Structure 1
Amino acid sequence: MAAKRPTVTIKEVAEAAGVHFSTVSRALSPATRARVNPAIVARVEETARRLGYRANTAASSLRTRRSHMVGLVVPDLASLLFPAILNGIEHTLQEQGYLTIVADTANDPERHRRILSAMVERQVDGLILASAMLHDAVLDEWLDGPAPIVLINRTDDSGRAPAVLSDDLRGIGLAMEHLAGLGHVRIGHVAGPQTLSTGATRRRGFAAAGAALGRRALPVAEAASFSREAGRLACAALLDAHPATTAVVAANDLLALGCYDALTARGLACPGDVSVTGYNDLPLMDLVDPPLTTVRFRHRDMGAEAARLLLARMAGQETAGDVLLRPELVLRGSTAPPSAAVGRGGAGPAAGGRRSPPRARR
């Protein structure tokens, strides 16, 4: 068996580099490296590599009472929404020497509670939560805990933790203005779950935009979850109750794909019979048929903003409440002016030129 390699100390690196050991500590820490002359940083890093120095993070944590770990909790790690958000968070935190630990609640409150407890027990320095419910008893348990919290993509009704969000009121307004500009009057909304801020706020945005356009009491069907299947069921219910609907504003892209399925099941075409808009601009939404008109916000920017906000809170700085990211409408092939034949009963496609029913592109 090979002999165990002796541990190289920070003092040995300092002696070999010809600097004080405190300079080595500052030069090797992303949080303090900018305070050291770049030439000295390069010399210290080269010396540390040559000697095989590894920082003793456990000892550093005991000394500073900081773990340099941040917990990120998401509701569904398989969602296409989170990779770019996570990239923005990790890149920003790594620049300051923080490691990100990611956990998935699967939208289970008890699992959420266990994850938060485990992360705080492991002394994470802060938490970024994409898992908050609108009325969140689990979150209430940790808002006054030892780790500062920042919410992302969702918020709760207490307002005690700052959040980084898309401006959902404006985003849904953009979709409504686009459809109204095309000539649609009979517009319905497939809403997300009202237990989540994204579902509730986008529904409010739909109602507000309808009122601003002089179209009150527009029909709404609430989906049980932000999933394609829930979108199909909600859209089917909407069309059953309001068969003359010519456009549907869906609260997210997966719900919009469910609307495609509901239309196909009725022999209706998008956008020939019913136009559809989504929200989020997830990857591949330009590759479905028809390509989805949707509301986009910059996912990576959302992650980076949340990380910067948490860094400020961990440093004890005052923060100025929520950060709203400006959305934009991405125009694609799922919206068009309404057909002249709007009196259908839902038993089949209206007469006239139609696109084929939507299908996945290969």
Structure 2
Amino acid sequence: MRERPTLRSVALKANVSIATVSKVVNGIAAGVSEATRKEVEAAIEELGYRPNRVGRSLRSQRHQAVGLAIVDPSPRFLADPFTTNLVAGLCNQLNTNGFGLLLYGVMPGKLSESSLIRQSEVDAICLNPSGTRDEREAAMELVSGLGQPLVVFQDRPVQNLQDVCFVRQDDAGGAELLANEVMKRPRRRAVMVIADIPWPAVENRVAGFRKVFEARGVQLDLVTCDETDSQAISSGIAGYLDDHGVPDVIVGQNDQIAIACIDILTARGLEVPRDVAVTGYNAFPFTGLSRPALATVRSRAYDVGVTAASAILERLENGRFRQREYVLPLELVPGNSAP
């Protein structure tokens, strides 16, 4: 049987030291020229060398894994496009640097009972919280108390927590961009259709729209519904229309809700945007299926995941987070649904 290649055999093949091979394997650039790195990588490829993950873990006291807890009452939490893109960015960046991702879907109020908290062995933890601000802070404090580096997604910093980094996109700023686009024409009343689960990103979007609308004297009503259920979305907006009449603007918390609203309006003989302006949020690829083209804001969900992974890797390497908070700016995607 052919012997499994080792660091030593790779070093002999590339005519370098074992220490140099170790640096290349672990992604350390210091003291390794580009030419040497390529020679070592060629030797690794030719010999079929694979790092011993268990041995590396024992030597470095690392598990080469990061845990992610998503607090969401829906068992289909990964069906949400924002969550899917965030997880993809986080996972890909970690994988590229030799780390795995352990994903946990957690029901609200059950975080303390999750295996991530009770027994999982990871080098750092990411948390995507939902619920009221008090509930989210309690979740952050619980995870922070484990003594591991923590990254919190889409929420504002909590000052008394240590060794924590907050990564989010600028949802309030994105909402303001969209609201100003809508206000290129006179409006008097708007309704925003949002999830019945308090998400920090949605709170920021509501705040952004409200800031612009109130400054222009526009009334903003809120309709809550189960965003994962198309029938619930339809019933929510239909009920509002029946009770309050047709508003000047309908704002979807996300593009899925906005497209559902367009369908309801069309079924009632209303034309978008002639009778009602409609906006979405996130601009994921399926948004292009909307007719008319949806006015929205382009999400940075994937970049949020990449940024978080990079922050974690740097923290594990240097012992501290470089920044307390990362806020990624958003861009407007104009559309015919809200000229």
Q: After the TM superposition, which residues 280-319 of structure 1 pair with which residues of structure 2 at under 5 Å, given as runs?
A: 280-314=282-316, 315-319=318-322
- Per the alignment, residue 349 of structure 1 pairs with none
- Per the alignment, residue 199 of structure 2 pairs with 196
Give the percent of matched residue pairs that are identical in Structure 1 and Structure 2: 29
Runs of 4 or more, structure 1, over 4 Å off, are 156-159
- Per the alignment, residue 241 of structure 1 pairs with 243
Q: Out of 125-134 and 270-279, give the one that drifted further.
A: 125-134
Q: Out of 204-213 and 313-322, give the one that drifted further.
A: 313-322
Q: Out of 109-118 and 180-189, give the one that drifted further.
A: 109-118
Judging changes above 3 Å, is the alpha-carbon distance between structure 1 residues 260 and 236 closer, same or farther for their aligned structure 2 residues? same
SS at match of 1:97: coil
The structure that is helix-richer by fraction is: 2
SS at match of 2:296: strand
Equivalent pair of 1:132/1:156 in contact (CA under 8 Å):
no
Whole-Å separation in 2 of the counterparts to 1:130 and 1:256: 24
Whole-Å separation in 2 of the counterparts to 1:8 and 1:210: 65
- Per the alignment, residue 129 of structure 1 pairs with 127
Judging changes above 3 Å, is the alpha-carbon distance between structure 1 residues 312 and 55 closer, same or farther for their aligned structure 2 residues? closer
SS at match of 1:269: coil
Whole-Å separation in 1 of the counterparts to 2:203 and 2:54: 44
Judging changes above 3 Å, is the alpha-carbon distance between structure 1 residues 150 and 203 closer, same or farther for their aligned structure 2 residues? same
TM-score, L = length of structure 2? 0.84
2:58 aligned to 59, 62, 75, which one? 62
CA-to-aligned-CA distance 1:203-233 (integer Å, 9 cap, x gap)? 2222222222133x43222234465444323
- Per the alignment, residue 270 of structure 1 pairs with 272
Whole-Å separation in 2 of the counterparts to 1:162 and 1:225: 29
- Per the alignment, residue 215 of structure 2 pairs with 212
- Per the alignment, residue 49 of structure 1 pairs with 45
Judging changes above 3 Å, is the alpha-carbon distance between structure 1 residues 325 and 94 closer, same or farther for their aligned structure 2 residues? same
Stretches of structure 2 that go unaligned for 5 or more consecutive residues are: none
The amino acid that maps onto 1:142 is: V
TM-score, L = length of structure 1? 0.79
Equivalent pair of 1:184/1:246 in contact (CA under 8 Å):
yes
> How far is the alpha carbon of 1:103 from its aligned partner?
4.1
RMSD across aligned positions (CA): 2.7
The amino acid that maps onto 2:86 is: I
The amino acid that maps onto 2:54 is: A
1:11 aligned to 8, 30, 39, which one? 8
- Per the alignment, residue 117 of structure 2 pairs with 117
- Per the alignment, residue 331 of structure 2 pairs with 328
CA-to-aligned-CA distance 1:270-297 (integer Å, 9 cap, x gap)? 2232111011112211112222111113
> How far is the alpha carbon of 1:27 from its aligned partner?
1.9
- Per the alignment, residue 34 of structure 2 pairs with 38
Judging changes above 3 Å, is the alpha-carbon distance between structure 1 residues 178 and 156 closer, same or farther for their aligned structure 2 residues? closer
> How far is the alpha carbon of 1:113 from its aligned partner?
4.6
Whole-Å separation in 1 of the counterparts to 2:207 and 2:246: 23
Matched, 1:88 2:89: yes
Whole-Å separation in 1 of the counterparts to 2:308 and 2:96: 14
Judging changes above 3 Å, is the alpha-carbon distance between structure 1 residues 226 and 99 closer, same or farther for their aligned structure 2 residues? same
The amino acid that maps onto 2:178 is: A
- Per the alignment, residue 345 of structure 1 pairs with none
Matched, 1:21 2:18: yes
SS at match of 2:238: helix
2:171 aligned to 159, 168, 172, which one? 168
Equivalent pair of 1:71/1:124 in contact (CA under 8 Å):
yes
> How far is the alpha carbon of 1:187 from its aligned partner?
1.7
Equivalent pair of 1:73/1:104 in contact (CA under 8 Å):
yes
- Per the alignment, residue 77 of structure 1 pairs with 78
Q: Out of 289-298 and 307-316, give the one that drifted further.
A: 307-316
SS at match of 1:320: coil
> How far is the alpha carbon of 1:157 from its aligned partner?
7.6
Whole-Å separation in 1 of the counterparts to 2:44 and 2:171: 49
Q: Out of 158-167 and 326-335, give the one that drifted further.
A: 158-167
Judging changes above 3 Å, is the alpha-carbon distance between structure 1 residues 45 and 171 closer, same or farther for their aligned structure 2 residues? closer
Judging changes above 3 Å, is the alpha-carbon distance between structure 1 residues 112 and 173 closer, same or farther for their aligned structure 2 residues? farther
CA-to-aligned-CA distance 1:50-77 (integer Å, 9 cap, x gap)? 3332211101101111122223344522
Structure showing greater Rg: 1
SS at match of 1:183: coil
The amino acid that maps onto 1:18 is: N
